[in-house]
Chains A and B, each alone.
Chain A
Amino acid sequence: MLYREVGQFKTSYVADQAIFPIAQDRWFVLLVLAFAIIGMPIVAGDYLCSEVLIPVLILSIAAIGLNILTGYCGQVSLGTGGFMAVGAYAAYNVVLRLPDLNLIIAFLFAGVMAMLVGVLFGLPSLRIKGFYLAVATLAAQFFLEWTFARVKWFTNYAPSGSVAVGRIDLFGIPINTPQRTYLVVLMFAVVLALAAKNLVRGRIGRMWTATRDMDIAAEIIGIRPLHAKLSAFAVSSFYIGIAGALWGFFRLGSWEPLAFDINRSFQVLFMVIIGGLGSILGSFLGAAFIVLVPLLLNQLPRWLDIPVSTATISHIESMVFGAMIVFFLIAEPNGLARLWATAKEKLRSWPFPY
């Protein structure tokens, strides 16, 4: 009753090609956005901002990046952590060496650097596929991790091997409270998500999905696999690089290469799978899920008043985490995005389903 597109006529090409063709969707997205921009900074406390919202948003960007590569173009990558590290260290170095540069430009530069590295490590994808490729991308992960740990120039010859960012300014405004950080991160997330949403439904996105569904057939109808795969690697690494830079600057503040180790790669991969392969919305849902579950698991013993040592908690956490992933894959292999789609389908005929 509330949610149906009956009677919404499209009289122009512009209306037909809109991102959200259904008016209710459009209003819903606008409402959520308005609340996220205006309401959230007022409502949310420091803890909610810095422990939940900021990580979720940053990792959503990384998940969108990986989703473009794995979900849309079908190339499995386990090198996400390494590409995030490229972004983080590129942003650190450009800010260090050009202190007057606008932070947004520094982050875009970080994305571009990650993009170049991503294309380089994407080259093998033209020859190898599937699990062979997945393992090959691990080469990127380990090599990059090692590079940032060993090559002193990247860490500005810091004796401890860890780097730290100083005061962060954007257009003269210091980004020093969790709420302001949240707004900056939100801006990046919204712009990048909208860009991705547009990209995947256009010519390039169709190219990617065709390559994913059957690469030889795609080649026969005139899609160049070189273009399709490398552009997917480029765009994906760009997103992941920006996410890495944001993660370093706004989440960690100071970090060492270990912050971007292989577990980070798996974390983002889980987000993509649990959120739903080939869905932008799914990337957000997956990121929220993966960030929130460990937080809840950590709080649970405290609420129930069971005394457990922190080591045991972390072990139990990984147990529950693993079990949940398996359960999720069995219950809904297409991810949270599919649940959302099903809910919308149900809503369409509500309250008279017959």
Chain B
Amino acid sequence: MLGPVLETLIGGLLTGVLYSLVALGFVLIFKASGVFNFAQGTMVLFAALTLARLGETIPIVAAIALTAAIMIALAYAIERLVLRHLVNQEGMILFMATLGIAYFLDGFGQTLWGSDIYKIDLGMPREPIFLFESVFPGGLLIDPSELIAAVICAVLVAGLAVFFQVTRIGRALRAVADDHQAAQSVGIPLDYIWLIVWAVAGIVALVAGTMWGVKLGVQFSLAQVALKALPVLILGGLTSIPGAIVGGLIVGAGEKLAEVFLSPLLVRWFDLAGGGIENWFAYVLALLVLLVRPQGLFGEKIIERV
């Protein structure tokens, strides 16, 4: 019994790492500019599409570099064309603007690159690994590409943590996150900071898109992954990078376990036409956590004054 549970758990945790990657992009932008960037999921799709199509003609390393450049250019365009005109608007309006960006990028990416299913080939090993064959009968089956994704994610998070805590720009980013006006008055250029944040979020989207693309193939449904990142986000807290990681792991493991073990029970009890509870399980889980901790697991405590 323990074997299948552990296998599901590990599979879920590895998927969860990928959710974390998407959620990370959300958190970065929300922390630094207070924008709830709904377009993050589409940015993931766009980056993956660009990389997949470029990878067909030029070597993969060059394609990655070029895609990164394109994501930075995209960040610049978003800052210049959209955000700059919406300074001082309410959060809701900014959120709607990112929805507009999401629609635009959806159409733009698919008009430009086509809407078939594409492959990203990084030359990762595809043979499943079996672990602990001596402990469990049959061992534990693990997909090595997911393992690599997890390692890359860990490196990325460590890099971002250093970037935020140690470097000059990171300090400026945290200042902007704390208070726009105060940061501006000590001479931190807001538009430059926003450009950096969106560029970093674009790069994170590229990493996430690459990993998901390797796992599932690049297609439109990749944007749906972003919807899975939302419960991760509120579970961990909108402003917390560790929260995004832990939230991703909880959601990934939780929904896999629920799908494998809870779903058949529900189907039997309620005579359902099939399971598929992973579509909403993460949301309900997040909702329950929010009822106890309204700011998420790691979010800053919300202090309200009149």
A interacts with B:
yes
Q: B86 contacts which chain A residues (CB < 8 A)?
A: 329-330, 333
A132 within 8 A of B: yes
* Cross-chain contact of A136 among B97, B290, B305 (Cβ < 8 A): B290
A301 within 8 A of B: no
Interface stretch, picked from A15-23, A111-119, A139-147, is A139-147
Interface centre among B115, B234, B274 (most CB of A within 10 A): B234
Interface centre among B97, B102, B284 (most CB of A within 10 A): B97
Interface stretch, picked from B1-9, B123-131, B184-192, B225-233, is B225-233
* Cross-chain contact of A150 among B238, B274, B294, B305 (Cβ < 8 A): B274
Q: Which residue of B lies closest to A136 (CB)?
A: B287
Whether B273 contacts A329 by the Cβ 8 Å rule is no
Whether A326 contacts B100 by the Cβ 8 Å rule is yes
A157-174 vs B, CB cutoff 8 Å, 1 = contact: the mask equals 000010000000000000
Whether B273 contacts A322 by the Cβ 8 Å rule is no
Main DSSP-derived SS at the A contact region: helix
Give chain B interface residues in 264-280, CB to chain A under 8 Å: 270-277, 279-280
* Cross-chain contact of A139 among B85, B97, B107, B283 (Cβ < 8 A): B283
Q: B290 contacts which chain A residues (CB < 8 A)?
A: 124, 127-128, 132, 136
Whether B283 contacts A143 by the Cβ 8 Å rule is yes
Whether A150 contacts B103 by the Cβ 8 Å rule is no
Interface size class of B (residues with CB under 8 A): 35 or more
Give chain B interface residues in 76-123, CB to chain A under 8 Å: 81-82, 85-86, 89, 91-93, 95-97, 99-108, 110-111, 115
* Cross-chain contact of B273 among A134, A145, A152, A318 (Cβ < 8 A): A152
Q: A151 contacts which chain B residues (CB < 8 A)?
A: 270, 272-273
B304 within 8 A of A: yes
Whether B273 contacts A149 by the Cβ 8 Å rule is yes
For residue A140, give the distance in angstroms from its CB to the closest CB of chain B.
Answer: 8
Evaluate whether A322 and B274 lie within 8 angstroms (CB atoms) in the complex, with A128-B290, A138-B227, A142-B279 already known: no
For residue B114, give the distance in angstroms from its CB to the closest CB of chain A.
Answer: 9
B166 within 8 A of A: no
* Cross-chain contact of A132 among B82, B102, B294, B305 (Cβ < 8 A): B294
A319 within 8 A of B: yes
B206 within 8 A of A: no
Give chain A interface residues in 181-235, CB to chain B under 8 Å: 214, 216-217, 220
Whether B115 contacts A311 by the Cβ 8 Å rule is yes
Q: A329 contacts which chain B residues (CB < 8 A)?
A: 86, 89, 93, 96-97, 100
Evaluate whether A318 and B272 lie within 8 angstroms (CB atoms) in the complex, with A135-B234, A142-B280 already known: no
Evaluate whether A143 and B104 lie within 8 angstroms (CB atoms) in the complex, with A138-B227, A150-B272, A329-B97 already known: no
For residue A312, give the distance in angstroms from its CB to the closest CB of chain B.
Answer: 6
Which residues of A come within 8 Å of B, CB atoms?
A: 76, 124, 127-132, 134-136, 138-139, 142-143, 145-146, 149-152, 161, 214, 216-217, 220, 262, 266, 269-270, 273, 277, 311-312, 314-326, 329-330, 333
